[in-house]
Amino acid sequence: MIALTLEHLADAVRGALHPFGDDTADTIVEGAVDTDSRLIEPGGVFVAKPGDETDGHLFVGAAIERGAVVAIVERLVEAPVSQIVVADAVAALSDLARVVVAEVRAAGVLRIVGITGSNGKTTTKNLLARILEGEGETIAPKASFNNEVGAPLTMLRVTADTQYLVSEFGASGPGAIAHLAGLVEPDVGVVLMVGMAHAGGFGGLEGTFEAKSELVRALRPGGVAVLNADDARVAAMAPIAAERGVAVRWFGRGPEAAVRADDVVVTASGTSCVITVDGASLPLHLKVLGEHHVMNALAAIAAATTLGVSLADAVGRLETVEIAERWRMQPMGSDRVRIINDAYNASPDSMAAALRTLAQITGPDERMVAVLGAMSELGEYAGEEHDRVGELAVRLRIPRIVVIGAEARRMFLAAVAQGSWDDEAVFFATADEAYDYLVDELRDGDRVLVKSSNASGLRFLGDRLGESFS
């Protein structure tokens, strides 16, 4: 965090300062801000956030032991540290992020990119960060820090020297993206797609459209909306951009996109294509597995070139990316038995994309194996969407379909109903049971996809299989 006096810090979070020891209102604080006492570093600011399972106020002492010099709390605690009492610790995080980013922006060259979409946010964030890091100091979220806590924590990492802040915006409900993006008013807003991910929380695709379009509405006047020309719902955000006085930069696979990809070829070593930006073209070999990641790369290139990065630099830096993120199309195992661990997140769109990638990268003498778990946050659409995944797996002629967990059982039943009768599809209640089956079942030449939402925990099964067949 940038240097602030305790008084300025208290004003920023609309709290009451209670100095301790030799501290005064003029004491300078410039350490990192965190809500996890285990991650506090010397000089840090600890935010005692109440949680569903525990209360951050119980860990103020632990934060002090790790070097915290001030705690933002909702009630005073008995602890030898300066404290700032606020009405709502999570709201205080947002207030502080808004103030810090505004001060950095006013004093320097900070440019801000916001990214949202039903799928691909984290991958696009990582790809764009890799490009921008070559231009100057870049701050981007760790993992998927995209909610009311993670996004402000990322924003608070900016310094006086930061040139680019890349923010990922998830949506827990209507208004969430408007709030988070409103903290920083991005110069560039990237909308990847409007799909069924989390549709249960928005009442369907129209509600999801409204939520994702909040980013476009939050852009600074004179900014740029980077929109997916291939997604009709995203394309329908162009009039919103016009109302806000921001330009539109299109990316996609079609000829109308200013940033597009042609001649796409998918292999087990990655995806090759030709990238065209405003009429200039260069070949790109993306090591990240999956044709669907071409769109994420296009979005990153579109945002980067909007900020003045050359196409050659953007392509060159993307080609150094090995994986999008841990547990996202992560190759494991060996050439003998290849495991693709993609079990950090799942939606109907990403599940279909991963299954199609499995089919594309499996050679004629190799066998496809799909290990599938439940997709979360689909609400009333969960049953039919799990049915569709099971049906698609059969239509792609995947000869071994392993479904795990009661919430995913409809995938198994749909696969059987679709025509998987000869033991192609099997069901296990737990990941341990599936592991015991798979270590005996898998053989040389198998290409294995492990795919589910985070809540299903299959990412750890993928790790176990990767280690077993390494």
Mean pLDDT of the chain: 94
Residue linked to tokens 């929109």 = 227
Q: Does domain 330-468 have CATH number 3.40.50.1820?
A: no
Q: Is 271 annotated as a binding residue?
A: no
Query: What is residue 363's predicted lDDT score, i.e. its pLDDT?
Result: 92
Q: Is 269 annotated as a binding residue?
A: no
Least-confidence region, from 193-202, 355-364, 414-423: 193-202
| Residue 198 in this model has a pLDDT that exceeds 60 | no
Least-confidence region, from 113-117, 185-189, 204-208: 204-208
| Residue 200 in this model has a pLDDT that exceeds 60 | no
Q: Give the C-alpha separation, 405 to 430, whole Å.
A: 6
Q: Is 123 annotated as a binding residue?
A: yes
Spatial CB neighbours of 338, under 8 Å, sequence gap ≥ 6: 268, 331, 332, 446, 447, 448
CATH number, span 4-91: 3.40.1390.10
Q: Is 122 annotated as a binding residue?
A: yes
Give the count of beta carbons closer than 10 Å to the beta carbon of residue 242.
13
Higher pLDDT, 420 or 402: 402
Query: What is residue 420's predicted lDDT score, i.e. its pLDDT?
Result: 57
**Mind listing the pLDDT tens digit for each residue in 294-342?**
999 999 999 999 999 999 999 999 999 988 888 889 999 999 999 999 9
Q: Per-domain residue ranges for the chain?
A: 4-91, 108-318, 330-468
Tell me the mean pLDDT in the region 80-96.
Answer: 97
| Residue 149 in this model has a pLDDT that exceeds 60 | yes
Query: What is residue 381's predicted lDDT score, i.e. its pLDDT?
Result: 87
Q: Is 108 annotated as a binding residue?
A: no
pTM value?
A: 0.90
The reply to whether domains 4-91 and 330-468 share a CATH topology is: no
C-alpha distances out from residue 89 to 48, 57, 141, 420, Å: 7, 11, 20, 52
**Mind listing the pLDDT tens digit for each residue in 232-251?**
999 999 999 999 899 999 99
**Mind listing the pLDDT tens digit for each residue in 254-263?**
999 999 999 9
Give the count of beta carbons closer than 10 Å to the beta carbon of residue 73.
24
Instruction: Retrieve residue 351's tokens.
Output: 């599940």
Higher pLDDT, 457 or 282: 282
**Which is the CATH superfamily of the domain at 108-318?**
Mur-like, catalytic domain (3.40.1190.10)
Query: What is residue 10's predicted lDDT score, i.e. its pLDDT?
Result: 98
Instruction: Retrieve residue 25's tokens.
Output: 């209102």
Q: How confident is the model at residue 196 (pLDDT cuts 50, 70, 90)?
A: low
Q: Is 120 annotated as a binding residue?
A: yes
Q: Is 333 annotated as a binding residue?
A: no
Tell me the mean pLDDT in the region 29-40.
Answer: 96
Q: How confident is the model at residue 199 (pLDDT cuts 50, 70, 90)?
A: low
Residue linked to tokens 């285990």 = 38
C-alpha distances out from residue 262 to 277, 279, 296, 412, Å: 11, 12, 14, 36
Amino acid of residue 456:
S
The proportion of the chain whose per-residue pLDDT surpasses 90, expressed as a percent, equals 85
Residue linked to tokens 């969407």 = 385
Q: Give the C-alpha separation, 418 to 309, whole Å.
A: 49
**Mind listing the pLDDT tens digit for each residue in 152-192?**
999 999 999 999 999 999 877 789 999 999 999 999 999 99
**Mind listing the pLDDT tens digit for each residue in 423-462?**
789 999 999 999 999 999 999 999 999 999 988 999 999 9
